[in-house]
Amino acid sequence: MKLLDHVDDELAALARDARHVAVLSGAGISAESGVPTFREVQTGLWEQFSAEDLATPDAFDDDPALVWTWYRWRQSLVQAVEPNPGHLALARWQKQLTETGGGLSISTQNVDDLHERAGAEVLAHLHGNIAAHRCTDCGASVQLPAPGYDGFEAPPEAEGPPACERCATGLIRPDIVWFGEALPMDAFEATMAAIRAADLVVVVGTSGIVQPAAGLPLLALERGTPLVEVNPQETELSETMDFVLRGPSGQMLPTLLETIS
């Protein structure tokens, strides 16, 4: 493992030669934009609840209004921030590789849409998308307007989720993965295929703790594909990496892109 605080010539050459790059992103890159992490949003009106009180199917069954309002509030927090230079650098890198016959896939554990707003195409949202919704009974996808919470630490009163207009029996829930639920298999399989087809894998802002997504970078080890981590903190994955850029993605990724452009 080569620990770096800058992009050296060896890493720059590796990135420059890569034609198929697989990127895995986690909470760290979104936190740099001001998106609170899962634990940080349990403040104010929500500090009396644990994650298990708010992010499980049982919690939604027991108190749908409480869980629905918490997630709509979280959605409003995401809407209030913008992509940071790390998101923008990945979007530019993806565009450059696509224009020259290569490709860069992005699979994210984040439930926000900051990669898309930066101009990138996302292969997989491994934990779902907080702005997407579906019916608990028939599974129909539902488009809803933005929550519009503004100026509140949290919504002042709980709001019940709407009923599904298609089946009339189910309630609308966030289309995200709750504790105890399986990851969407199509997203997971697409990410595995992208990693196995890549000649460079870049892991950005993920702690390497949340399974099974944390094990995905290890697929690169099967083929000897170089692994690069971008994170200001040491993680569970750091020791398995070939290169570790020890710094924020909003600083390190633009610098990496400059060296290969």
Residues flagged as binding site for substrate = 71, 74
Of 168, 181, 152, 190, the C-alpha closest to 70 is 152
Question: Would you state the torsion angle of the CA atoms of residues 41, 46, 48, 51, taken in this order, to the nearest 10 degrees?
Answer: -50
Residue positions forming the annotated binding site for Zn(2+)? 135, 138, 164, 167
Within the chain, residue ranges assigned H as helices are 9-17, 27-31, 51-54, 57-62, 64-79, 85-99, 114-117, 185-197, 219-223, 249-260
Phi and psi at residue 255, in whole multiples of 5°? -65, -40
DSSP assignment of 117-136: HTT---SEETTEEEEEEEET
Q: How many CB atoms lie within 10 A of CB 17?
A: 10
Residue positions forming the annotated binding site? 71, 74, 109-112, 135, 138, 164, 167, 205-207, 231-233, 249
Catalytic residue among 115, 125, 127, 133: 127
Q: Which helix (H) or strand (E) holds 174?
A: strand 172-176
DSSP assignment of 192-206: HHHHHH-SEEEEES-
The yes-or-no answer on residue 127 being catalytic is: yes
Q: How many CB atoms lie within 10 A of CB 246?
A: 16
Token pair 């089946």 is at which residue? 167
Residue positions forming the annotated binding site for NAD(+)? 109-112, 205-207, 231-233, 249
Query: What positions carry a catalytic annotation?
Result: 127
